[in-house]
Amino acid sequence: MNTAAKRQPNRVEVPLLDLKAQYHALESQIMEALRAVCASQHFILGPRVQELEERIAAYSQCRYGIGVSSGTDALLVALMALDVGPGDEVITTPFTFFATGGVVARVGARPLFCDIDPLTYNLSPQAVADLIAKHCELRSGRLVNRQTGGTVKVLMPVHLFGQTADMDPLLDLARRHGLKVVEDAAQAIGAEYLGGRRAGNMGDIGCFSFFPSKNLGAFGDAGMCTTNDPLLAERLRVLRVHGGKPKYHHAAIGGNFRLDEMQAAVLLVKLRYLDQWTAGRQDNASAYDEAFTRVGTTVSVSTPHRVPGYRHILNQYVLRVERRDELKQWLTENGVGTEIYYPIPLHMQKCFDYLGHKPEDCPESRRAAMETLAIPIYPELTDVQRQHVVGTISSFYT
């Protein structure tokens, strides 16, 4: 026992995420699956990857799944498959993980950052409509950014924290302006929009991440693209292996975006439990919602807005709070793990200085970056742990 624990024998520890509980429950099944991969010595793009592609596609109501090396590579290869490159522009949110904007720049295109809805933190359809109305015009079927002369080709909403963006108005804007839609569904596997439509099946390509901290996490990096378009599916599959088809014949330049059998084997075991884990996260969220109301911190603490009719899968439970940085410090001192997703919106990142943005260009993103804090929501959280989190927050404000 360490000295800190000796001094405080009753201290409750609540990490932001504890993957060990999940692993211990599935250890024998996972080890058996991994042993089978070792016995086969077939490590790359084998039968388990194919089975995972079929299962994730079906789970996400899509015709095709293309397993790739990470969520970032899913986004990157999606833009490559849509021929996005120099002279092209991609409308997206600045309040997201870096990869969303990073991949746009990596293919040589320009990110067009558009502000978020302050309640859901997702791309605001109104902000996108305003940007198009103010700065763009249709020239022979192409949407052109008047300031840069670039072609706006793709709309890339992110389903942040496990809740889908408001897709109907976004899809309508895309349709009216000839834009392709790439969904960054990295945090949103199984999330549903109105009408039970799942993340990844509403745009042209959906992109998922199986990074260990996502709701369906591998034992390393892994990702998936989904689509309903057979031509895009084929293009993604070819680009995944350097653009070679047949092997060693390259009509296109791709990359090594392959998924391996070890990760697929782990994910196939875990996928069977995903709905049960999602239910656990939703139960925790409802219990938090009630507890914060009960302790009366609602003036200082806003709980996440879950839009009626959606299925929120709660990859993160993000509060908007007063004196965020002090609260974070207080929670750390009291054994509660938290994280700021995300402290610097992309339009304010140094690497995007060349876009010439001012912080106030996306005021809601900037405000969210200063006021939000994610608290533990993983399914194995106990009542005692949850009560400790709420008690520690309420003691900070009273």
Binding status of residue 100 toward ligand PLP by CB under 6 A: yes
Among 60, 70, 316, 365, which residue interacts with ligand PLP (rule: CB under 6 A)?
70
Nearer to ligand PLP, 70 or 226 (CB): 70
Window contacting ligand PLP (CB under 6 A); options: 67-75, 273-281, 374-382, 389-397: 67-75
Q: Is 96 in the site for ligand PLP (CB under 6 A)?
A: yes
d(CA 344, CA 249): 43
Question: Does 97 sit near ligand PLP (CB under 6 A)?
Answer: yes
3-state secondary structure of 244: strand
- The yes or no reply on residue 183 touching ligand PLP (CB under 6 A) is no
Binding residues for ligand PLP restricted to 129-168, rule: CB under 6 A: 158
Rounded-to-integer distance, Cα 264 and Cα 243, Å: 22
**Element (H or E) spanning 112, and its range?**
strand 110-113
Among 62, 68, 72, 324, binds ligand PLP (CB under 6 A): 72
154 strand-pairing partners? 90, 180
Non-local CB neighbours of 282 within 8 Å, separated by 6+ positions: 312, 313, 314
Q: What is the DSSP letter of 170?
A: H
Q: How many helices (H) and strands (E) does the chain have?
A: 13, 12
- Interface residue with ligand PLP among 93, 151, 187, 263 (CB under 6 A) is 187
Contact call for residues 254 and 242 (beta carbons, < 8 A): yes
Find the shortest distance in angstroms from Cβ 297 to ligand PLP. 28
- 3-class DSSP assignment, residue 206: strand
- The pairing of strands 142-145 and 151-156 is antiparallel
Name the residue whose CB lies closest to ligand PLP: 71
By CB under 6 A, how many residues form the interface with ligand PLP?
Answer: 15
Query: Is 64 a residue that touches ligand PLP (CB under 6 A)?
Result: no
Output the six-digit token pair for 224: 């998936």
* 3-state secondary structure (DSSP) of residue 134: helix
- CB closer to ligand PLP, 100 vs 385: 100
Alpha carbon distance 352, 362 (integer Å): 14
Asked if 120 is part of the footprint of ligand PLP (rule: CB under 6 A), the reply reads no
Positive or negative torsion for Cα 237, 240, 241, 242? positive
Instruction: Tell me: does residue 211 bind ligand PLP (CB under 6 A).
Output: yes
Between residues 97 and 257, which has the closer beta carbon with respect to ligand PLP? Answer: 97
Using rule CB under 6 A, residue 71 touches ligand PLP: yes
For the CB of residue 76, give the shortest distance to ligand PLP in the complex, in Å: 9
The residues of the shown chain that bind ligand PLP, judged by CB under 6 A, are: 70-72, 96-97, 99-100, 158, 184, 186-187, 209, 211, 221, 223
